[in-house]
Amino acid sequence: MYKAGGQLRCLALLMAAWTAITVAHFAIGAGTHGLHVVHIVLAGLYLLVVIAAAIWFGLVGALLSSIAVTAAYIPYVLVVWRNQPMENANQYAMLVVYWVVAFTAGTLAWRREIEMQRHLASERAADRSAVIEAIAGLSNALRARDEYTREHSEQVALLAVAIGNELGLPENQVELARLAALIHDVGKIGVRDDVLLKPGQLSDEERQAVQQHPMIAADILRPIHGANEIADIVLAHHECPDGSGYPRGLRGEAIPIEARIVRVADVYASLVERRPYKNAMDSDSALSLLSQGAGSKFDLEGVQALKRVMAKSGMHKAT
Ligand SMILES: [Fe+2]
């Protein structure tokens, strides 16, 4: 079916053609054999209106244009060709032709539209499975580099899905958050081992090197066909609602909702996990730390949703 800003122009064209044919039809009358030929040509031109309507507006357009043609044609037959029953029989047969053509052309347009939708859906599914395969490959690359990061990412993905569902996000956004969470730290592949695995405090220079990882991740993801949205989420997973995050200092809703969710999940998971340089924090303490920064450092609704998720799982009392 025709889909573009030109729909109104097509409608105007159809109405202009219908009006011109109808006016010409009534104007020529039925005086001579020559005029009869003109009538036959004009009656045929109505078919173009019906076919064009089917191409541009599908089955509905074809049927509506048939109604319009019928509404113009019957008065023409009754007025201009009155008292000519033999001729009228031919003319009424033409009405049947209009409707048969409308149904045929409309049905073909409708089937073509369905085929196109099916094709687009299978293309999207192919893109999505290519993205998932690419992400699985990146996840394996992470494992080869650092088993801890991969386990952490899987935990973040589980939490991101739980938060997204708790917030009532559409399924596709929850899935985007999950995929982004699985490889949110893939950019750490580009951070030197002695910095990435350093047990103690990082120097300013080392911290800056680590803070490059969202941009490195986005650069890794962008060339993957269909992974642009995931690249945007990963790029923003260290942004804060108050603009104090990195790499771009985005604020509030300028940060994709999926990235805000991944950040809440990421920070919570990091706090409750044991790392070489720190012990694991208990869930209540981690949630209370997140609550202190809710609305400034972390997405407020995301933190509230995580608390509800934890309360339902029995790991935290809702406050
Ligand atoms: Fe990160």
Model-level pTM greater than 0.85? no
CA angle 265, 236, 316 (to 5 degrees): 15
| Residue with the two structure tokens 């006016």 | 23
Which tokens hold the place of 224? 């993957």
Ligand 1 center from residue 188 Cα (angstroms): 8
User: CATH number of the domain at 146-313, please?
Assistant: 1.10.3210.10
Please report the pLDDT score of residue 143 as a whole number.
67
Please report the pLDDT score of residue 286 as a whole number.
95
Give which of 306, 303, 299 is closest to 161, Cα–Cα: 306
Ligand 1 center from residue 42 Cα (angstroms): 70
Please report the pLDDT score of residue 319 as a whole number.
47
* Residue ranges of the chain assigned to CATH 1.10.3210.10: 146-313
Ligand 1 center from residue 214 Cα (angstroms): 6
Q: Which residues of the chain have pLDDT under 70?
A: 1-5, 30-31, 143, 145-146, 277, 315-319
Ligand 1 center from residue 255 Cα (angstroms): 15
Tell me the β-bridge partners of 298: 294
Please identify every residue annotated as catalytic. 188
